[in-house]
Amino acid sequence: MPARSTAYPFGDLLALARQSWLGEMTRRLAERGHADYRRSDAAAIRMLRRGPQSIGALGAGLGVSRQAGRKVADGLEQRGYVTTERDARDSRQLNVVLTPAGGAFARDVVAVIAELNDEVASRTAPADLVAVDTVLRAILFDESARQRAARLPGPA
């Protein structure tokens, strides 16, 4: 039997934290009438909240291929949160646009994320939040993730 590692299980705790966060988001969004929340929804819906996005831009913003971006858009469209339409300037381009139901979903996603962020901050000392922020940014191994994280504010 191989010797058990005594290294700190950072990756395991990070995975558990992400799973718990997603579970809580799912529960709270269901309470608000969105029982069909999917993991890819939060990032996509927040991007679309800023305005229509092409399928390619949606995929790029999510850090996935155009095909994967299309799959996310299709899932949102099937649930009535977005529509797709041809771009007025380039008919080859398909844009993803929030519907009124998608706008409500986006508001609820943003509100739930803010609630969770506030709850974590209220249970954590300010210096600990700074330390966690530093560690989370340090584990971003690819340049694209580091660039996206650089646009996010740090703890106050």
Which tokens in the block code for residue 30?
Answer: 């269901």
Report the half-sphere exposure of 8 (CA within 13 A, side-chain side).
Answer: 3
Q: How far apart are CA 119 and CA 112, in angstroms?
A: 11
User: Using the 8-state DSSP alphabet, how is residue 124 labeled?
Assistant: S
Each residue's pLDDT expressed in tens, for the chain with a length of 156 residues: 666 666 889 889 999 999 999 999 999 999 999 999 998 899 999 999 999 999 999 999 998 999 999 999 999 999 999 999 998 888 888 899 999 999 999 999 999 999 999 999 999 999 999 999 999 999 999 888 888 889 889 987
Query: 3-state class of 60 per DSSP?
Result: helix
